[in-house]
Structure 1
Amino acid sequence: MQQIDFRLEGEYVELNQLLKLVGICDSGGAGKAIVAGGDVSVDGQQELRKTAKIRAGQTVALGDVRIRVIPG
């Protein structure tokens, strides 16, 4: 399992943009496709909203990758 810490600057980041910023996909559009596929969970719950607001303290999971969002 790969653990990634993402330092959040600001109030939130949209889920599809987070996937792009940590290098899981090349673009926000590709991030939207990944989310739409149903493979992403936020705090253990499946997330299908492509632009869900991810805030500090939340954990995003995709396959064996865990992204921990920490305050900037």
Structure 2
Amino acid sequence: MSGPEPQDIHVGSDGIRLNPFLKFAGILDSGGDAKEAIIDGYVAVNGEVERRRGRQLRVGDVVTFEGRSFRVQA
């Protein structure tokens, strides 16, 4: 059984880096909080833990944090 559908986050382009995405989407309040969450392994991209802040996200990628999922949309 799968969880709820990911919330679509429109980034206005073909992609965005992971760290700014977390702040832009309102998932975390600051870039510093996003950096810590990523480095500590609390963020997953497409189901796999991602520890690179500069990971380039593409349209359709799904970011998960604390049981909530967000899908990158153009």
Answer yes or no: same fold by TM over 0.5: yes
The answer to whether structure 1 residue 67 and structure 2 residue 70 are counterparts is yes
Instruction: Select the residue among 49, 53, 57 that pairs with 2:56.
Output: 53
- Quick one: which amino acid aligns to residue 19 of structure 1? L
- Segments of 4+ in structure 1 off by > 3 A? none
**TM-score normalised according to structure 2 size:** 0.83
The C-alpha deviation readout for 1:13-72, integer Å capped at 9, x for no partner, is 11111111111212112111110110111011110001111110100011211001112x
Instruction: Select the residue among 36, 39, 51 that pairs with 1:36.
Output: 39
**TM-score normalised according to structure 1 size:** 0.85
Moved more, 2-11 or 43-52: 2-11
- Quick one: which amino acid aligns to residue 53 of structure 2? K
Q: 2:14 maps to what in 1?
A: 11
The CA RMSD over aligned residues, in Å, is 1.5
Unaligned ranges ≥5, structure 1: none
Identical positions, percent:
32
Unaligned ranges ≥5, structure 2: none
The count of corresponding residues between Structure 1 and Structure 2 is 71
For 2:73 and 2:58, how far apart are their aligned partners in 1? 8
Moved more, 4-13 or 39-48: 4-13
Moved more, 58-67 or 10-19: 10-19
